[in-house]
C-alpha cells in the first residue's frame, strides 16, 4: 500500500535564511512512527503499533516513513517537497517512500529514529534510505506495475516504432539481474475476447516477448491509440502466469534530460518534513495554493475535506468520476489517490450519520464500510495492473458511493 505524502524541502541554492527556517521546522515535526515487517516480501505490512507480522509472525520493527520528491536518476540524493524538475538533469521529479533516521557525521553506524545531539555536541543529520516498494515510478516513460508476489515489478512501454518493451525490476525498482531476466517467459496479447458466462479470455492475437539485453520486447505494429494490450508473464519456467493490463494513450518516451545551464554540480537539498497527509502532494489549506508541476494530473492533487455534507457528497461524486476516468485511460497506478480521498470523505460522513433517519442509517453504515474496503482493493489491484480486478472493485465502490449519496441526500 502506498503511504501518505509529506513535504517540505529546501530547493537547491536556497538562501541561508530559508535553510534555517526549514531546519527549525524539521526539529518541530516528525513523520509518525510506523511498525513494519522485516521479512523480504512482507514490506506491505505496515501497522500503527508494535506487535507481530500478520503474514509471517516476525516481530514488527519501528521506523519513520516519509514520501518525498526526488530525481529518478539519483534517488534520495536530491530531495524536494513538491513536483518539479530534477536540478541535476532536468527530468521530472518522482515521488518515492523512504525510511527516515538520524545519524552523526563521524559516527555513521548511529541510526536512530529521533533527532538529537551527537557526542561532539553537533546536531544529528537526517538520513533517507530506500525502502522496498518505495518507488513505483516508470523508469522508461511507460506504465509501472507490481507483481502479485510482492517482489517483482515491471514496466511496459509502447514505442512509436510499434515495439512493446517489458522492463523487469526487483522490489527496490532495481533492474533484475541478467540471469533472472533469462528465466522470464512472457507474451503480449493485443486482442482477446472475454466470455462473461465462463469469465475467461480467449486470445485472438498474441506475440512472444523475446529478450534483448535486460528487457523483453516484441514488434506488434502501430495500433490505434489508445492502445490496450496485456502482458502475460511467468518469472521463471513453471511459475504461475501473471496478467498485467496496459492501455497507452500515447507512445512511450524515455525521459529526456534538459540541457545543463551551469557547470557547477548542485549539492543535495536538505529536507525538512511535515506530517504525512494521505496520498498525493501536500494538501491545500484555506487561503493557500498547491504548486503543481505541468506533468502532474490535477486529479491527483487533494483538497481539504469540506465542512458541509452537500460539499462532501459533491467531492465524493468527483472522486468517483476521477477513478472511472483513470480506469478508462488504463492509469491504474493513479487510482489510489482519488480512492483514498473518497475513503476520507466517507469517514467524515460516517461521523454525521447519527442525524439520519433510522432507515437511512441502515443503508449508510454498510455502504460506508463497503466503500472503505473497496478503496483499499482499488489501491492493491491498481498496483497489480489487473484491469478485470480493478473494474470489479470499482463496481462495488461505485454502488456504495451511490447508496451513501442517497442516504445523505437531504442533509
Closest CA to 112 of 43, 30, 37, 20: 30
Label residue 321 by pLDDT band (50, 70, 90).
very high
Q: Residue 266 has what pLDDT?
A: 35
| N residues, the chain | 411
Same domain, yes or no, for 153 and 123? no
Task: For residue 2, tell me if it sits in a domain.
Answer: no
Same domain for 31 and 107? yes
Q: Residues 342, 372: contact at Cβ < 8 Å? A: no
Q: Is the pLDDT of residue 349 over 60?
A: yes
Q: Which range has the worst mean pLDDT, 70-74, 380-384, 403-407? A: 70-74
Domain for residue 222, yes or no?
yes
Residues 315 and 376 in one domain: yes
- Residues 20, 53: one domain? yes
Residues 152 and 243 occupy one common structural domain: yes
- One domain for residues 31 and 72: yes
Over residues 24-58, the pLDDT tens digits come to 444 446 788 888 888 776 776 777 788 998 878 88
116-147 pLDDT tens trace = 999 999 999 988 888 777 778 888 999 999 89
49, part of any domain? yes
Q: Rounded to an integer, what distance in angstroms lies between the CA atom of residue 143 and that of residue 194?
A: 23
pLDDT at 283 over 60: no
DSSP string, 283-307: PP-TT------TTS-GGGS--PPPS
What percent of the chain clears pLDDT 70, i.e. is strictly above it? 80
Number of domains in the chain: 3
Is the residue at 137 inside a domain?
no
pTM: 0.57
Q: How far apart are CA 43 and CA 34, in angstroms?
A: 12
Residue 11 has pLDDT above 70, yes or no: no
Segments forming the whole domain that contains residue 244: 143-248
Amino acid at each position: 500500500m502506498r503511504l501518505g505524502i509529506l513535504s517540505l524541502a529546501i530547493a537547491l541554492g536556497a538562501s541561508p535564511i530559508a535553510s534555517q527556517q526549514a531546519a527549525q521546522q524539521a526539529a518541530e515535526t516528525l513523520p509518525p512512527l510506523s511498525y513494519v515487517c522485516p521479512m523480504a516480501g512482507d514490506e506491505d505490512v505496515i501497522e500503527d503499533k508494535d506487535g507481530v507480522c500478520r503474514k509471517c509472525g516476525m516481530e514488527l520493527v519501528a521506523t519513520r516513513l516519509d514520501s518525498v520528491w526526488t530525481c529518478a536518476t539519483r534517488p534520495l540524493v536530491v530531495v524536494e517537497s513538491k513536483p518539479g524538475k530534477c536540478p541535476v538533469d532536468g527530468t521530472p521529479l518522482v515521488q518515492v517512500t523512504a525510511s527516515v533516521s538520524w545519524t552523526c557525521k563521524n559516527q555513521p553506524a548511529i541510526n536512530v529514529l529521533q533527532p538529537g545531539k551527537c557526542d561532539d555536541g553537533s546536531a544529528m543529520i537526517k538520513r533517507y534510505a530506500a525502502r522496498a516498494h518505495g518507488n513505483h515510478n516508470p523508469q522508461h516513460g511507460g506504465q509501472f506495475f507490481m507483481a502479485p508476489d510482492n517482489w517483482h515489478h515491471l514496466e511496459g512501454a509502447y514505442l512509436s516504432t510499434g515495439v512493446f518493451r517489458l522492463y523487469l525490476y526487483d522490489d527496490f525498482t532495481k533492474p533484475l539481474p541478467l540471469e533472472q531476466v533469462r528465466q522470464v517467459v512472457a507474451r503480449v496479447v493485443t486482442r482477446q475476447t472475454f466470455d462473461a458466462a465462463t469469465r475467461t479470455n480467449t486470445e485472438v492475437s498474441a506475440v512472444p516477448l523475446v529478450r534483448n539485453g535486460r528487457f523483453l520486447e516484441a514488434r506488434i505494429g502501430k495500433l490505434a491509440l489508445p492502445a490496450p494490450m496485456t502482458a502475460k508473464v511467468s518469472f521463471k519456467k513453471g511459475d504461475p502466469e501473471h496478467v498485467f493490463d496496459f492501455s497507452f494513450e500515447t507512445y512511450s518516451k524515455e525521459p529526456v534530460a534538459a540541457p545543463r545551464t551551469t557547470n557547477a554540480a548542485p549539492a543535495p537539498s536538505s529536507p525538512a518534513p511535515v506530517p504525512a497527509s494521505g496520498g498525493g502532494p501536500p494538501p491545500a489549506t484555506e487561503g493557500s495554493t498547491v504548486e503543481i508541476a505541468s506533468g502532474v494530473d490535477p486529479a491527483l492533487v487533494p483538497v481539504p475535506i469540506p465542512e458541509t455534507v452537500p460539499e462532501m457528497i459533491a467531492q465524493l461524486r468527483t472522486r468517483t468520476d476521477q477513478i472511472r476516468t483513470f480506469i478508462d485511460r488504463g492509469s491504474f497506478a493513479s487510482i489510489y489517490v482519488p480512492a483514498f480521498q473518497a475513503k476520507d470523505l466517507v469517514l467524515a460522513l460516517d461521523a454525521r450519520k447519527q442525524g439520519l433517519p433510522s432507515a437511512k442509517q441502515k443503508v449508510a453504515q454498510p455502504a460506508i464500510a463497503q466503500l472503505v474496503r473497496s478503496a483499499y482493493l482499488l489501491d492493491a489491484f491498481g498496483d497489480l495492473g489487473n484491469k478485470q480486478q480493478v473494474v470489479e472493485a470499482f463496481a462495488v465502490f461505485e454502488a456504495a458511493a451511490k447508496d451513501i449519496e442517497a442516504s445523505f441526500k437531504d442533509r
